[in-house]
Amino acid sequence: MNFKGQVAVVTGGATGIGRAIALKLADKGASVMIADINEEAAAQTAAEVKEVSGKSAVFVTDVTDLEACNGLVEATTELLGAVDILVNNAGIAGSAGWQTRSYSTEEDWKQTYQVNVIGMSNITAAFQPQMIKKRSGRIVNIASIAGREGRPSLPHYSASKAAVISLTQSIALELARFNITMNAICPGLLWTPMWEQIGDRYAYDMPAYEGMNPREVFDAMIAEKIPMQKEQTPEDIADTVAFFVSDDAKNITGQALNVDGGFFMR
Ligand SMILES: NC(=O)c1ccc[n+]([C@@H]2O[C@H](COP(=O)([O-])OP(=O)(O)OC[C@H]3O[C@@H](n4cnc5c(N)ncnc54)[C@H](O)[C@@H]3O)[C@@H](O)[C@H]2O)c1
């Protein structure tokens, strides 16, 4: 696996899973643009990427803002070159304060859909013309096992991730004839800033987890739900991204792959 000379963009690349994806692609030789709303953390990750592959840049991007997405295409092309690999990873679990409410508000539904689904569509639409022109491209969308089946306490998030799996199939069909693949990954349980919020919500909402801190909720869920009895890591997801964008996966498109220690077997 060698991505030397290739240019990758990772949305939400500043922290958690996105950061690990950026470092993995850099480790295999790619130049990586970090596109995130968190400028400080993005700059930190870009500095780490530079140490690995030599080339990285940051473009402060809110994926819900189509103009910013078009600006990201321009900045990436100018600073690093035309894009070969796009990883749509940016995501949120709800609107401010969602973790201490026992129901999903209209804002939870709107904001989560806006970032997780429309944001993904915005970025893809922005980079698509460049990839179509080159007749090549690899796109990976980060969905979730929450998109495989309705999950308690976060219906707005589950529904948004089911939409990501559907979006992946539809756009993969549209782009296949241009030699562009699009696949999704459904991560299981990963201890990132996002899961700290989810743990708070479960402790707030579910009697089984009452009084636990987020990490205790997380550990209890690993024991209950994960057949392999271990948490997944950002690096597990990064390894799977690297596979999907490698030559080994040239004939795979429109798929959604669970990386979840066996939580869901479908
Ligand atoms: N942590 C898990 O267990 C888990 C499980 C399944 C799926 N996921 C998915 O993985 C992806 C990464 O999540 P994570 O766990 O690393 O969480 P995280 O909160 O650490 O990372 C999310 C990143 O997205 C960025 N972001 C948020 N809104 C944005 C916007 N509007 N525009 C640009 N960037 C934005 C944040 O600044 C942050 O850097 C998300 O799509 C999430 O839904 C996470």
Closest residue by Cα to residue 10 from 70, 18, 76, 2: 18
Q: Residues with beta carbon inside 6 Å of ligand 1?
A: 11-12, 14-18, 36-38, 61-64, 89-92, 115, 119, 142, 144, 187, 189-190, 192-195
Q: Would the pTM count as exceeding 0.85?
A: yes
DSSP structure class, residue 14: T
Q: Give CA–CA dist 41/19, Å, rounded.
A: 9
Nearest CA owner, ligand 1 atom 25: 12
Q: Which atom of ligand 1 is nearest to the CA of 189?
A: 3
Most informative mutation of 192, 202, 263 for ligand 1 (most atoms within 8 A of CB): 192
Element (H, E) at 258: strand 256-259
How far, in Å, from the CA of 111 to the mean position of ligand 1? 13
With a cut of 50, list the residues of the chain below it in pLDDT: none
Q: Catalytic positions, please?
A: 157
Residue type present at position 263: F
Closest residue by Cα to residue 143 from 186, 183, 80: 186
Nearest CA owner, ligand 1 atom 36: 12
Residue type present at position 100: T
How far, in Å, from the CA of 12 to the mean position of ligand 1? 6
pLDDT at 53: 87
pLDDT at 153: 87
pLDDT at 54: 84
SS3 15: coil
Most informative mutation of 10, 11, 17 for ligand 1 (most atoms within 8 A of CB): 17
Query: All domains of the chain, ordered by start, with CATH?
Result: 7-189+233-259 (3.40.50.720)
Most informative mutation of 60, 194, 264 for ligand 1 (most atoms within 8 A of CB): 194
How far, in Å, from the CA of 177 to the mean position of ligand 1? 30
